[in-house]
Each structure stands twice: as C-alpha cells, then as structure tokens.
Amino acid sequence: MESALDRAEVGLSTELVLEVLRRLHFEEKTAFRFFTWAGRREFYEHEPKAYNEMIDILSSTKYKAKQFRIVCDVLDYVKRSGKRAVPVETLLGMMRSYTEKHLTHLQKFAKKKRIRVKTQPEINAFNLLLDALCKCSLVEEAEELLRRVKAKVKPDSNTYNVLFFGWCRVRNPTRGMRVLEEMIDMGLKPDNFTYNTAIDTFCKTGMVDEAVELFEFMQNKGSTMSSPTARTYAIMIVALAQNDRKEDWFRFLRDMISSGTLPDVSTFKEVIEGMCSAGKVEDAYRFLEEMAKNGYPPDIVTYNCFLKVLCESKKSDEALRLYDKMIKSGCMPSVQTFNMLMEMFFKMNEPEGAFEAWGEMEKRGCERDPETYCVMIDGLFGCNKVEEACFLLDEVISRGMKLPYRTFDSFMMELSVIGNLQAIHRLSEHMRKFYNPAMARRFAMNQKRKSTSLRGK
C-alpha cells in the first residue's frame, strides 16, 4: 500500500488526511498504516485534528485493548515532538471511550441490582489514572493533573481520597491534610475510613500530636458518617502507649467506654498486639483490667489474641502468667490456648513444657482435636522423640481422626527417614479412608511444581 501511495504522488493536506481516515474509521490497522505513511512525507506535518482523529479510531475499535499501546505511542510521539500539545478534551474523550467499553459489565451489574451509578465514565477513568500515579509514588504529578482537568471534569470524593491516600503512601501527611481541607471546601465529606487512614499515618510518622488534633476535629466537627469508631480509638491508644503517654491513652480508653463505642475482637487484638510489639506488656494488662472494671471483661477469644502475641514472641513466662490470670478470672482455656502453648514450647526446644500443657488439657477436661495431635507429633519428631510420636500416631489411628493432607505427608516423610515401614503402612491405610489416590497424586504434583519453581528462582 505504501509503495502504491508513493507512486501516486498526491499532495497531502490536513483535510485530505482527515477524509481518508474517516473513510477508514472501522479499519484501524489500515488507517494507522496510512497515518504513519503520511507523517513521513515531505512538505506535510500532522496537525492536532489528524492526531485526534487517529486516536479516536484506535480508542473506539472493538480491539481497543490491543491498540492501547499504539495510542500511548501516538501520544508519546506528540509529546516528544514538542510541536503540538495534546488538548485536555482529547485525553478526556479517549478516557471516556475506553471506560464506556470496559465498564459495560459493571454497568449491567449495577442495573441488575438496581444501583444508581451517579458518576460519569470519565471521572471513573480519571480516578483510576490518579490511583495508578499515586501507587507509583507520583503524587505531585497526580495533583498537577487534577488541577489541569478540574475545569473539564468535576472531581468527586473518590478523587480526593485517592490523592489523600497517595500523600499518606509517601509519608507526607501535611500535604494530605491540605487535600482533606480542599475536599471539605468542595462540600464533600470524608468518611471515617479516610480519617482513620490519616490518623494512622500521623501516628506511624511520629506526629502523634497532629493525630490527636485530627481526632478532636473528627469528634467535634465531623459528621455522623465520620464519627470515631473502635478502630480509631485503637489506633490512638496504641500510638500513645508506644510513646509512653500513659495518661493520654488511659483518657482515650475512658472516652471510648463512655461514648459506647464497644471494641470488637479485631480491636482488642490490634491494641494488645500493638502494645506487646512495643514492649508495653504491663500496659496491655492494664488495658484488660480497665475494660473488665467497666463491665467489658475479656473473653477466651481476647485472651487467645493476647496469648498468640506472647507465644509468637517466645515469651514463655509472660504466656504462663497470662494463662494463670485467665484461670483466676474464671475464663476456661480452649483447645487453641493449649495448642499455642505447646507449639511455643517446642519452638523454644523445651518439650517438658509441651508435655505439661498436654497433661493440663486432660486435667481441665479439654477435648484434644486433630490440630492438637498434629502440633504434638510434629514437635516430638522435631526434638527426636520418635517413640512418643509413633505412639501418638497410633492413637490418632485408633480414634479415627482425619489429619490434614499436608501434615500426613510430613509424617510419612518422618517415618520414611527412620524406616518404620509398619507405621507407614498403618497410617497410609488409615488415611485412605479420607483421601483417594487421585487427590494424593494431585497433591504430589503440586508440591513438585512448587519446589521446581523455587529452584528456578
């Protein structure tokens, strides 16, 4: 085609190029070849109209996903040439065209569920573009882009949230607060998720006083949609405790209780983990005591959250102290409690402590589950107590327990190392009741693929 056009020796003009491109509107590949050929001709230079027409053809085709890179190349060429600027209308038109196609399934879903989609496709696309820039830490560029198109596209609350989270990502909460102020000036109200992110960012960057100020603003001037939640209080309590401001975090705790903002399991866990990770174990105990005094005694789930942190940190003395406190408060330990204690003692290479926890389960009348046997048997194999491990495996078989396939595979490997063929046969026959050979083959193949990929890396 290019050779035939060269032989024709037709003088090119913008009007002629536009007419040809319009004729080839549904033949995007041929249109782009013609557009490229025309751009290389002497005495002719593409004007913005030609670029706009070509971009429109590429972005409106049903094969747009494959042509997206070509569109980017065209825009990049315009930018690098420095001769013509790409108008904002062109960019917005292209974004609108793409999102109308890409969001078709979303719009159908919204219509089916009778959800009103208030935002226009271009603002959805624009927010996605800002989000991509912010995730690449190009927050200043994203903010500049918003200033350029604000007159053409009205930003919504998601626009400001994206920018705000971007400044939080690059640890610049001061610029983030400016975005929040602009958001409020525009008549858009931040929700408590936005405020929680801001407070968490302030605390992580050591700006606790600023976090307190924002919390007070959220409490006094915010709307009902942005009132402090249990997680907001949890973030503040942990930050104040980590900075040795005991009176302040104690005041926030009282305020949380008086306001009726009841902490849930995740809030308890967040406060306790935060205090323990900062070495404030005594403060964590005080937190539990104050909650109990005000009519919110910790239950077994709360105690187990606390115990999990201590066990993972291998603080056996503190873990046993918490266990005694649990018993004295009348809260009976669960099977998860003993499992965590046994696993901690085996990791610390103290099997005696694991045996004591095993006996304590029987003393307290706590029924052992398959996870208990898995922890105990795996720990016994690890500390080379093979006879005791095989004894417990026999008990598993006699009680008809189903072991997780991964654990079963690990135990078979241990028995293979010591050469106990009789135990291998008994365990394999027992597990045949729960797992078929096809599943065993799939598991073995998956394990082989994983090990091969790790070796490749």
> How far is 228 from 126, CA to CA, in rounded Å?
30
CA angle 232, 186, 107 (to 5 degrees): 80
Q: Is 402 helix (H, G, I), strand (E, B) or coil?
A: coil
* 298-339 per-position pLDDT tens digit: 788 888 888 888 888 888 888 898 899 888 888 889 999 999
Q: What is the DSSP letter of 188?
A: P
Q: What is the DSSP letter of 309?
A: H
- Which stretch, 25-29, 393-397, 408-412, has highest mean pLDDT? 393-397
> How far is 337 from 357, CA to CA, in rounded Å?
9
**Residue that has been written with the tokens 């005591």 in this structure:** 289
pLDDT of residue 427: 84
109-123, 386-400, 439-453: which has the minimum mean pLDDT? 109-123
Query: Bigger pLDDT: 152 or 17?
Result: 17
> How far is 92 from 121, CA to CA, in rounded Å?
10
**Residue that has been written with the tokens 């919504």 in this structure:** 156
Query: Bigger pLDDT: 225 or 350?
Result: 350
Cα 155 off chain centre by: 25
CA distances for 352 relative to 52, 207, 311, 372, angstroms = 77, 46, 16, 16
> How far is 378 from 300, CA to CA, in rounded Å?
26
Number of helices (H), then strands (E), in the chain: 26, 0
> How far is 179 from 187, CA to CA, in rounded Å?
13
- pLDDT exceeds cutoff 70 at 227: yes
Q: Which amino acid is at 4?
A: A
pLDDT of residue 343: 93
Query: Span 359-370, mean pLDDT?
Result: 90
CA distances for 359 relative to 338, 366, 368, 381, angstroms = 10, 10, 11, 19
> How far is 106 from 109, CA to CA, in rounded Å?
5
Cα four-point dihedral sign 254, 260, 262, 267: negative
- Which stretch, 3-12, 152-161, 252-261, 390-399, has highest mean pLDDT? 390-399
pLDDT of residue 92: 59
> How far is 61 from 21, CA to CA, in rounded Å?
13
- 27: buried, middle or exposed (CB in 10 Å: 19+, 13-18, 0-12)? middle
- pLDDT exceeds cutoff 60 at 455: no
> How far is 404 from 14, CA to CA, in rounded Å?
71
Q: Do 427 and 402 touch, CB atoms closer than 8 A? A: no
What confidence tier does 345 reach under pLDDT thresholds 50, 70, 90?
Answer: very high
Q: Which two tokens stand for residue 229?
A: 């939640």
pLDDT of residue 116: 46
Whole-model pTM? 0.56
Which residues, 6+ apart, have CB-to-CB distance to 173 below 8 Å? 167, 198, 201, 202, 205, 207, 210
Q: Which amino acid is at 280?
A: K
- pLDDT exceeds cutoff 90 at 344: yes
> How far is 350 from 335, CA to CA, in rounded Å?
20
pLDDT of residue 67: 65
Q: Which amino acid is at 441?
A: R
* 265-293 per-position pLDDT tens digit: 777 777 877 887 777 888 888 887 877 77
Which residues, 6+ apart, have CB-to-CB distance to 249 below 8 Å? 236, 237, 238, 240, 241, 283
Cα 192 off chain centre by: 18
CA distances for 22 relative to 13, 17, 139, 420, angstroms = 14, 9, 38, 80
- pLDDT exceeds cutoff 80 at 351: yes
pLDDT of residue 439: 58
* 33-89 per-position pLDDT tens digit: 898 888 888 888 888 778 778 877 776 665 555 566 677 777 776 666 655 555 556
Q: Which two tokens stand for residue 390?
A: 């095989």
- pLDDT exceeds cutoff 90 at 208: no
Q: Is 432 helix (H, G, I), strand (E, B) or coil?
A: coil
Across the chain, mean pLDDT equals 79
Q: Is 153 helix (H, G, I), strand (E, B) or coil?
A: coil
Q: What is the DSSP letter of 315?
A: -
